[in-house]
Chains A and B, each alone.
Chain A
Amino acid sequence: QLQLQESGPGLVKPSETLSLTCTVSGGSISSSTYYWGWIRQPPGKGLEWIGSIHETGSAYYDPSLMSRVTISVDTSKNQFSLKLNSVTAADTAVYYCARGPVTGDHWFDPWGQGTLVTVSS
């Protein structure tokens, strides 16, 4: 059964870079036509799609974050990563990684359990 697990610092200072990794187990990140995505949820608020990447490196990003975000894939480690630079308090959220379907669409299942990242000095 495919499982995803987010990891990274839980506290990031303002203006610094948020870096998270999603480790995939129970399946290969480079199989078939899946997209792998990052979604976040500010405390008490709704879900926000950040971006998605294919194992070939083809990526989609939310335009509102595009200037600050990079998503990359490391097939040798079966991981994909998120970097968000110049963070502010508005970037405080639970960050989820998730997989899209084999069709190459962009709904998500399964999801990781999520990791809370707080931006504060």
Chain B
Amino acid sequence: AIRMTQSPSSLSASTGDRVTITCRASQRITSYLAWYQQKPGKAPKLLIYSASTLQSGVPSRFSGSGSGTDFTLTISSLQSGDFATYYCQQYFTSPFTFGQGTKLEIK
């Protein structure tokens, strides 16, 4: 199975900050990568697919980049509602695996 490793595992930041989360795949997955946001007690919400395509309705302050094995999720200016846990997921090949998550907390 392809292993997805996110860094950092947790991150403290302030409203207005620019934040970057990294996801690394254990083998090449071209651009078959999605990013999700999850708030406590809620289902994950899709933010980005195909590594860089913003899902409809997702604010433009979210962006994704990368291909091959290294990917990033960037939030350009943190808003209060962005404090949550973020997961990457590869869908290049089954089993479709998730990263361990990055918890974004208020500083």
A binding-site residues for B, Cβ under 8 Å: 46-49, 52, 60-64, 96, 98, 101, 105-109, 111-114
Q: What residues on B are CB-neighbors of A49 within 8 Å? A: 89, 95-98
**CB proximity of A35 to chain B, nearest CB, Å:** 10
For A62, list chain B residues within 8 Å (CB): 94-95
Q: In the bound complex, what is the Cα–Cα distance between A62 and B38 (angstroms)?
A: 22
How far, in Å, is A110 (CB) from chain B's closest CB?
8
How many whole Å from B53's CB to the nearest CB in chain A?
10
CB pair B98–A109 under 8 Å, yes or no, is: no
Interface of A: prevailing SS: loop
Per CB-CB distance, the 6 closest pairs between chain A and chain B, nearest first, are A109-B46, A107-B34, A106-B91, A111-B43, A47-B98, A62-B95
Q: Please, which residues of chain A bring their CB within 8 A of the CB of B46? A: 107-109
Chain B proximity of A74: nearest CB distance (Å): 22
Task: Please list the residues of chain B having a beta carbon within 8 angstroms of any beta carbon in chain A.
Answer: 1, 32, 34, 36, 38, 42-46, 49, 55, 87, 89, 91, 94-101
**In whole Å, how far is A107's beta carbon from the nearest beta carbon of chain B?**
4
Between A and B, 29 residue pairs with Cβ closer than 8 Å are A46-B98, A46-B100, A47-B36, A47-B89, A47-B98, A47-B101, A49-B95, A49-B97, A49-B98, A52-B96, A60-B94, A60-B95, A60-B96, A62-B95, A96-B43, A98-B43, A105-B49, A106-B94, A106-B96, A107-B46, A107-B49, A107-B89, A108-B44, A108-B89, A109-B46, A111-B43, A112-B43, A113-B42, A114-B43
Chain A nearest Cβ from B46, distance in angstroms: 4
With most chain A CB atoms within 10 A of its CB, the pick from B43, B46, B55 is: B43
Chain B nearest Cβ from A7, distance in angstroms = 15
Q: What A residues does B87 contact at CB under 8 A?
A: 46-47
A6 to B46, CA, bound (A): 19
Known: A112-B43, A113-B43. A105 touches B98 (CB 8 A): no
Chain B min CB distance to A11 (Å): 19
